Amino acid sequence: MSWDPDQYARFGGERLRPARDLVAAVPLASPARIADLGCGDGRATQLLAARWPAARIVGVDSSQAMLDAAARLGLDATWQCAGIDAWRPDRPFDLVFSNAALHWLSGHETLFPRLAEAVTPGGALAVQMPRNFAAPSHAALFDLAESPRWRSRLAGLVRREPVADPVWYYDVLASRMRSVEIWETEYLHALSGERPVVDWLKGTWLRPFLDALPREEADAFEAEYADLMAAAYPRRADGVTLFPFRRLFIVAMR
């Protein structure tokens, strides 16, 4: 999938709020080494560096465009262009952190045990993933991709439930970690603009569907999706579009 740092940054404030909440929930005084998996444009990495300025931070991401944007922040961090699927660190990290990235990977039953092993004893695994795939923003996208006009080319991209329920993550981590805290938060984003939900999804989940189509058809698909979003998330009289967004948080201590 192609990532566009500018499109992703359009809702930077809203997208960073869960990262702030996750960083604030990590009960570590001074982790020496931190891995930020799926670090993207480095904005969440910047929060890590601000809270633990002495830590050595490695940002890992498979998108060179996002890493280029991260490098422009001028942080004292190392940026690695690599897939999290293949990430096998030489030695464990005091904090393995991942904000809004692991839902892009399948195989959580092997991924999460591997990430737990990448944490030093006394260290932490801290993860945030969206868990609103049944909301209209995502469900309507999947339904549209599976509709007769589009399904031959787009149905294969549909992943209805990339994130399991909280109890599933507890069960995977409880035997491997000393403590496991899991919670969900639903943010009520108050967005401005003509069609903010479409623009939000264009920075993430809509992207692979548009990338899979020639330009004119991508425009037609986007227009159909925009009509669905206008109905599901109507703009209020004050110009605001309310966009509820549920996210799953995990902080597990080894």
Our CB check for ligand SAM shows the closer of 137 and 150 to be 137
Our CB check for ligand SAM shows the closer of 60 and 140 to be 60
Our CB check for ligand SAM shows the closer of 126 and 252 to be 126
Q: Render the burial of 28-41: b for 16+ CB within 10 Å, e for the rest.
A: beebebbbbbbbbb
Closest distance between ligand SAM and the C-beta of residue 121, in Å? 26
Closest distance between ligand SAM and the C-beta of residue 204, in Å? 5
Give the residues lining the site for ligand SAM (CB under 6 A).
3, 15, 19, 38-40, 43-44, 61-63, 66, 83-85, 99-101, 104-105, 204
- Residue 117 to residue 111: CA distance in whole angstroms: 10
Residue nearest to ligand SAM (CB): 40
Q: Both tokens of residue 27? A: 């009960």
The answer for residues whose C-beta is within 8 angstroms of residue 184's C-beta and 6 or more apart is: 131, 166, 246, 247, 248, 249
Closest distance between ligand SAM and the C-beta of residue 131, in Å? 14
- Residue 121 to residue 167: CA distance in whole angstroms: 23
- Residue 73 to residue 31: CA distance in whole angstroms: 22
Closest distance between ligand SAM and the C-beta of residue 74, in Å? 17
Our CB check for ligand SAM shows the closer of 100 and 150 to be 100
